[in-house]
Amino acid sequence: MTSAAPPTEEEAALALLRWYADMGVDEATAPASSDFYAFKKTAPPAPVPGPPRAAATPAFAAEQDRPSTDEAAAEAGRIAAGCATFEDLEAAVAAFEGCPLKTGAKNTVFADGVPGADLLVIGEAPGRDEDRIGKPFVGRAGQLLDRMLAAIGRSRTENTLISNVIYWRPPGNRTPTQAETAVCRPFVDRLIELTAPKAVMIAGGAPLQALLGVTGIMRARGVWREIETAGGARVPALPIFHPAFLLRQPANKRLAWADLQALQGRLDQD
């Protein structure tokens, strides 16, 4: 009996890719998140003796040219401070090149809803659907968010503005790094200042950490806090479970409902 010829390298690679796709792995991401800002801080590698090496690819050269997190955040702060309207800020975020996540994203996802609304919802970061469409909270979690808001008489078409602490989709929907949230934060602060809402609803643990430096949504949810912006505005903020978490753990909707009612009570005051 003759045994089949071993697959060529190409066939083996294709078979592996097909297997990944069957397993639901349909995107290429690094196993660990990279701090692209660190390229600037790292000393260049010592020259390797031997034949001359190829020049850096344009992509790597661009990474080396990137500003540090502090520099990018400072630039974001200068730009955000110069924005006098929601439209200015939206255009400024779309033009900003200081966040490396932008490189891998299809769209900038800034905000959706009513500028100047008295309720501002701030979530984590765009996912696949949001990246494709260019609006926050449009996937399954977004649909649940819309239903949660509707339960307290709120909607993005009438009286609510929805945004995130990050404006570009992190690869593979990983949690944004502290460096990424630090760079976007001046824009988030300016959005809060320009909106001047009666209350901010903080949707989930990542924005809780980014906006207030607090970890642990399980304990923090339902407890009113205050966000202080770079420009000195102080706005009441209520952390609440992220709708994606509620999709996975629907038993917690009971607690989310209590939080939504507390939010409505605050919004209905005077």
Q: Which residues bind ligand URA (CB under 6 A)?
A: 123-127, 130, 136-137, 141-142, 164, 244
- Check: CB of residue 116 under 8 Å from CB of residue 196: yes
- Check: CB of residue 110 under 8 Å from CB of residue 120: no
Taking the complex as a whole, the smallest distance from the CB of residue 217 to ligand URA amounts, in Å, to 12
Taking the complex as a whole, the smallest distance from the CB of residue 110 to ligand URA amounts, in Å, to 10
Taking the complex as a whole, the smallest distance from the CB of residue 136 to ligand URA amounts, in Å, to 3
Taking the complex as a whole, the smallest distance from the CB of residue 109 to ligand URA amounts, in Å, to 6
C-alpha closest to that of 253 among 202, 120, 244: 244
CA pair distance 216, 207, nearest whole angstrom? 11
- Check: CB of residue 163 under 8 Å from CB of residue 111: yes
Our CB check for ligand URA shows the closer of 90 and 124 to be: 124
Residue nearest ligand URA by beta-carbon distance: 123
CA pair distance 69, 244, nearest whole angstrom? 29
Our CB check for ligand URA shows the closer of 68 and 175 to be: 175
Q: Which strands make up the sheet holding 119-123, listed edge to edge? A: 111-113, 160-164, 119-123, 199-203, 234-240, 225-228
Taking the complex as a whole, the smallest distance from the CB of residue 215 to ligand URA amounts, in Å, to 17
Our CB check for ligand URA shows the closer of 36 and 137 to be: 137
Our CB check for ligand URA shows the closer of 146 and 193 to be: 146
User: Would you state the structure tokens that stand for residue 216, as one six-digit string?
Assistant: 């642990």
Taking the complex as a whole, the smallest distance from the CB of residue 164 to ligand URA amounts, in Å, to 5
Our CB check for ligand URA shows the closer of 137 and 187 to be: 137
The three-point CA angle 140-143-149 to 5° equals 145
Our CB check for ligand URA shows the closer of 63 and 163 to be: 163
**Intra-chain end-to-end CA distance of the chain, in Å:** 87
